[in-house]
Chain A
């Protein structure tokens, strides 16, 4: 760990101006990812600006009926929020299947979305890594690639995004609210996380910007959603693969569908291919199998993770069965 200064921001403006005075300042929310990375010297901020005093922790239903999750809402508070649980069960489930109770009490929604990959080479500064040191090479390629990507990877980076929550957020057409020194903007959640064209950039956030909130409009689709996580042990472990699925079925026909995949790509992965197979069809085991095949058609395994393809297909079939053909 390198020495850094610490400041507590009282207002957003305060946060922006404090950050502007630093060379490599970083915002601190729950700290469960940032502090880790500082200890490992993967992150080397000269200043840490604590944003926990900002009034961004509320979870509320807006007058227009949208659900608004403040960036500083804790994972645990979010998971247990009754409005969210009924609006999008997959999101609650994804949060409750994340990390541990202690971590969820500390970690925030904004931090969760921005958490960095768990790639072991990224987290070990003795190893080359394009994400940490652009141009140094990707050690995971040809190394221990068991947990790495099977979709959307390239020869610069094969890391996966670790968040469960972000996968479930793909189902709800969420909006990310950002505020920075230059003002406020909103971006769709989908597309916020990047594929590894430039592995040093995980997302499209701009320097100095704060996430203030995530919003979405609950719908029949989001209410009928579920999240399935497959991992090496029963709890306290990142996903090998995960699937978030939402289906709107009326009159025995699938009107709309959303599928998110986790543990497979540099970004939470929306499978439009699988969705296309489903929409307009009658739910059946065969249909779900076809959707899973379509969803993983483009998958390219690494040396040690061919199994993820089958696992992801089976997880998708199970998730679709549980929302589309409940027993």
Chain B
């Protein structure tokens, strides 16, 4: 059952509309809130007047910093979030919440919100990394990694290297825009709060909200049944969730909030702009001697989040002499956050572009260059072995499918029949295989069905389906009779859906819980003189299709239904926890790997780039569901193309406002931009990474794809674009 391309168990509910998303919860007497956001990037609210808004029929309340209930806005987690919850008159970024209007309908609230009159005492914002007021700082860490690293002696090795690459690569500010915007429905019952929240982790959310409102965690329930995409944006707690709870308490009714698309470009995190200085020293054959990766990451003035772009350079290739650094550059912007493959996606653009530059500088084929510098052990962890690494096979299988050997070594050498320039590019990909403690509960009912829960989130990845498969296999019950439920803090605690860790973390817990119930059923049978399994050994039994049998004599056995009925109980349950302490480093370094190959066609007259073909091969341990894995990888690849060619938050440097805060002007690819994507699933068995051998696949798809496209563009045009996105003007 594990590995089968099972269709999504929640697919029908989603396409028929039966699946209820957080904003679709409709508790009795629910009211609707709309956030008023700032139109300046830094300064003070000079005056705010909600009188006109309040006078509109159907308006229940207008909250501003003058009258909002006091809460602890610095208490959210994870990360050290300092939310802006209408507690004071300071404006720290564009589109910061400055008021909240609560009304009988969304339409009335929206109209009244536009009638709240705000005047500002604006200050001059610093709006770029190099603006006079921007402040560079040394962060304590880079997104849970050491900010700096060093091995060998970079300076002397680089100075002595016969071939040197020394370039700066820029990735722009990017905003996550899942189909489902941020949304929350909040309902109080006395001092107990229930939140239906579009989140990537109900337990994280509960912790933050409890701290903000000074409640015990047991007083807050967070429910997240369906999420229309998260990509990191719904990992941290954002202001609207707390504001919904605040408003609900004030008006004494449930309150729901959904963000507008423009406000998705406000204070809910984004991928920060990076400027990455890469220096590579190599010998004339292309062998790496020295590598420095120095990152400057856009940061807010009031919180710490650093894009860990250089982390990938620490482990991807065999480099004896290396330094990496991360610095934050604070200016008057909101705080960035995790966005699909934070660090690796932006960092791979720099590293894999620089590797491509080295390939041309040395005349070595880009793929051969990667093989030349292949490392079998993790140079960032003193040569610790990888739990498994099948990157060679990803290169080989991807290259074969793509026809990489047909690539002419010269640049600007090939044209299509209608005169477009043809280019081939490739890049490596990797993402760490993370894991956190998770727990699950499994129950087998006397009708033979099973119900398994864990408080995980399905952010569109297919968690419902994957864990159904894991549970079915562990329980020995067909998937059709297993129901898996998730997304509720009343369930056993689970890892959040972020950092590509949820499947590996929760699957191991679900597996243990399934095995535990199965064993309980077997124990009941063994102890029961009326059972054909009476007195038999557990080790001799098999579990399949809801029945226990002896391995050697399959006809001897009985069903779970029979065992439960004889025992006179309606069900048997077991709870299990798969513990994992991320701070304790095991004997292996754990990563998934992959390789991208792309063909682009560039119109030499217009500078427009279109993808012609893409082949991406990944090895990420055991694949739970090949159909969903393919979709997940494809989504990553599409986003990599988007990063290469389309996405970019465009700030007005005078005002500090992102002026393309909508899906008309914040470009992502449309179907016509994406040709067929050939995903190669490279088999990999990993006996070490965790008991089930599962690595995460959520993020690796995007890593390196941007560089593969940029490298193909260079091959086509002889133009090296080092700042994304690759807009036509950069090639004209």
Contact = CB atoms under 8 A, between A and B. Distances in A.
Q: Do A and B bind each other?
A: yes
Interface of A: 1-3, 41, 118, 120-121, 124, 126-127, 139, 142-144, 146, 230-237, 240, 305-307, 310-311, 314-315, 317-318
A240 B727 CA distance: 11
Nearest to B260: A39
B606 A314 contact: yes
Contacts of B657: 124, 126-127
Given A307-B732, A311-B728, A232 B659 contact: no
Contact of A143 (B606, B659, B732): B659
A26 to B, nearest CB: 18
Given A1-B110, A126-B39, A142-B654, A232 B605 contact: no
A314 B667 contact: no
A227 to B, nearest CB: 14
12 contacts: A1-B107, A1-B114, A126-B657, A139-B652, A143-B652, A144-B652, A230-B606, A234-B610, A234-B670, A235-B671, A305-B729, A317-B605
A234 B728 contact: no
B555 interface: no
Chain A's interface: helix, strand, loop or mixed, by majority? loop
Nearest to A230: B606
Contact of A124 (B659, B667, B671, B728): B659
Interface string B143-178: 000000000000000000000000000000000000
Contacts of A1: 107, 110-111, 114
B659 A315 contact: no
Contacts of A234: 610, 669-670, 672-673
Contacts of A232: 608, 646, 667, 727-728
Contacts of B606: 230, 311, 314-315
A127 B657 CA distance: 10
A101 to B, nearest CB: 11
Given A120-B660, A230-B728, A314-B606, A236 B650 contact: no
B665 A120 contact: yes
Contacts of A236: 670, 672
Interface of B is mostly: loop
Contacts of B665: 118, 120
A233 B646 contact: yes
B119 to A, nearest CB: 12
A146 B606 CA distance: 15
B664 interface: yes
A76 B28 CA distance: 44
B78 to A, nearest CB: 33
Contacts of A126: 39, 657
Nearest to A233: B673
Contacts of A144: 650, 652, 659-660
Contact of B673 (A235, A240, A306, A318): A235
B320 interface: no
A231 B669 CA distance: 12
B173 to A, nearest CB: 13
Contacts, number: 79
A28 B502 CA distance: 50
A311 B667 contact: no
A143 B656 CA distance: 11
Contacts of B667: 232-233, 237
Nearest to B94: A126
Contact of A240 (B610, B652, B670, B728): B728
A236 B654 CA distance: 30
Contacts of B605: 311, 314-315, 317-318
Nearest to B603: A230
Interface in B640-696: 645-646, 650, 652, 654-655, 657, 659-660, 664-665, 667, 669-673
B219 interface: no
Contacts of B39: 126
Contacts of A233: 645-646, 667, 669-670, 672-673
B607 interface: yes
Given A120-B665, A311-B605, 4 more contacts: A143-B654, A233-B672, A233-B673, A306-B729
A3 B58 CA distance: 13
A311 B659 contact: no
A181 B654 CA distance: 46
Nearest to A120: B659
A231 B673 CA distance: 12
Contacts of B111: 1-3
A121 B728 contact: no
Given A118-B664, A235-B672, A230 B608 contact: yes
B114 A41 contact: yes
A143 B654 CA distance: 7
Contacts of B110: 1
Contacts of B659: 120-121, 124, 143-144
Contacts of B645: 233
A310 B657 CA distance: 30
Nearest to B651: A144
A118 B727 CA distance: 19
B580 to A, nearest CB: 42
A234 B608 CA distance: 9
Contacts of A231: 608
Nearest to B653: A143
B679 to A, nearest CB: 21
Nearest to B606: A230
Report which residue of B610, B654, B660, B728 has the largest number of chain A beta carbons within 10 angstroms of its beta carbon. Answer: B728
A307 B729 contact: yes
Q: 9 closest pairs, A vs B, by CB?
A: A307-B729, A126-B39, A314-B605, A234-B672, A235-B672, A120-B659, A234-B673, A230-B606, A236-B670
Contacts of B654: 142-143
A315 B669 CA distance: 23
Contacts of A306: 729
Interface string B5-49: 000000000000000000000000000000000010000000000
Contacts of A3: 111
A236 B652 CA distance: 25
A293 B728 CA distance: 20
B151 to A, nearest CB: 42
Contacts of B650: 144, 146
Contacts of A121: 659
A1 B114 CA distance: 8
Nearest to B650: A144
Nearest to A317: B605
A127 B658 CA distance: 12
A42 B716 CA distance: 44
Q: Which among A41, A234, A236 has the highest number of chain B CB atoms within 10 Å? A: A234
B371 to A, nearest CB: 34
